[in-house]
Amino acid sequence: MWITWKAPSPNNFNPAADPGLMRMPKSRGGCPATLMKKIQRLEMEGISKSFHGIHANKEISLSVGSGEILGLLGENGAGKTTLMNILYGLYQPDAGQIKINGSPVRITNPMESILMGIGMVHQHFMLIQNHSVIENIALGYKDTPFFFPKIKIREKVASFSRQFNFTIDLNQKIWQLSAGEQQRVEIIKALMNGADLLILDEPTSVLTPKEIEELIIILRQMKADGHCVIFISHKLDEIMNICDRVVVLQKGSIVGSADTGKTDKKTLARMMVGRDVVFNISKEKLAKGQEILRADQIHVTGDMGLPAVKGVSFDLHENEIFGIAGVAGNGQRELAEAITGIRRIDSGKVTINGKDITNLSPRHIYDHGVSHVPEERIRFGIAPGLFLYDNAILKQHHLKKFSRRYFLKYNDVKTHTQGIVDDFKVLTHSIDNQIRNLSGGNIQKLILGREISEQPRLLVASHPTYGLDVGATEFLRHHLLKLRKQGSAVLLFSEDLEEIFELCDRIAVIFAGEFMGIFDSDDERLCEIGLMMAGSKRI
Ligand X SMILES: Nc1ncnc2c1ncn2[C@@H]1O[C@H](COP(=O)(O)OP(=O)(O)OP(=O)(O)O)[C@@H](O)[C@H]1O
Binding site for Mg ion (CB under 5 A): 81, 123, 440
448 class by beta-carbon count within 10 Å (0-12 exposed, 13-18 middle, 19+ buried): buried
Among 218, 427, 497, 534, which residue sits at the site for ligand X (rule: CB under 6 A)? 427
Complex with ligand X: residue 112 or 469, whichever CB lies closer? 469
79 binds ligand X (CB under 6 A): yes
136 CB-contact burial (10 Å; exposed 0-12 / middle 13-18 / buried 19+) = buried
Among residues 412, 366, 357, 361, the alpha carbon closest in space to that of 389 is found at: 412
Task: Give the up-direction half-sphere exposure of residue 350: CA atoms within 13 A in the CB hemisphere.
Answer: 27
Rounded Cα distance between 434 and 428, Å, is: 10
**Binding-residue total with ligand X (CB under 6 A):** 20
What is the strand order of the sheet 118-121 is part of?
A: 118-121, 197-201, 228-232, 69-74, 245-250, 253-259
What's the closest the beta carbon of residue 448 comes to ligand X, in angstroms?
13
Which of ligand X, Mg ion, none sits in contact with 29, Cβ below 5 to 8 A by type? none
Pairing of strands 118-121, 95-100: unpaired
Task: Compute the least distance from the CB of residue 282 to ligand X, in Å.
Answer: 27
- DSSP letter assigned to residue 7: P
Number of Cβ within a 10 Å radius of residue 340 = 23
Exposure of 178 by Cβ count < 10 A (0-12 exposed, 13-18 middle, 19+ buried)?
buried
**Contact call for residues 132 and 172 (beta carbons, < 8 A):** yes
Taking CB positions, which residue lies at the least distance from Mg ion?
81
- Residue 333 host element (H or E): helix 332-340
Q: Is 403 exposed, middle or buried (0-12, 13-18, 19+ CB in 10 A)?
A: middle
**CB of 437 or CB of 453, closer to ligand X:** 437
464 binds ligand X (CB under 6 A): no
d(CA 6, CA 106): 9
Decide if residue 410 touches ligand X (CB under 6 A).
no
Contacted by 371, from Mg ion, ligand X, none: CB < 5 to 8 Å by type: none
> x/- string (CB under 6 A) for ligand X, residues 22-61?
-----------------------------x----x-----
| CB-nearer residue toward ligand X: 76 or 396 | 76
Which residue number, 52 or 262, has a Cβ lying nearer to ligand X? 52
Contact region with ligand X (CB under 6 A), list: 95-103, 259-267, 432-440, 482-490: 432-440
- Region near ligand X per CB under 6 A, out of 70-78, 216-224, 405-413, 487-495: 70-78
Alpha helix locations (H) across 435-520? 440-452, 470-485, 497-503
208 binding partner (options ligand X, Mg ion, none; Cβ < 5 to 8 Å by kind):
none
For the segment 468-497, give every residue that binds ligand X (CB under 6 A). Answer: 469
Tell the smallest beta-carbon distance from residue 333 to ligand X (Å): 22
Applying CB under 6 A, among 82, 233, 330, 340 the residue interacting with ligand X is: 82
Contact pattern for ligand X over residues 263 through 292, marking x by CB under 6 A = ------------------------------
The entry of Mg ion, ligand X, none near residue 427 (CB within 5 to 8 angstroms by kind) is ligand X
Is-contact 440 413, C-beta < 8 A?
A: no
| Segment near ligand X (CB under 6 A); pick from 77-85, 289-297, 307-315, 316-324 | 77-85
User: Quick one: what does residue 473 bind among Mg ion, ligand X, none, with the CB cut-off 5 to 8 Å set by partner type?
Assistant: none
Stretch that binds ligand X, among 144-152, 312-320, 439-447, 479-487 (CB under 6 A): 439-447
Binding site for ligand X (CB under 6 A): 51, 56, 74, 76-82, 123, 427, 437-442, 467, 469
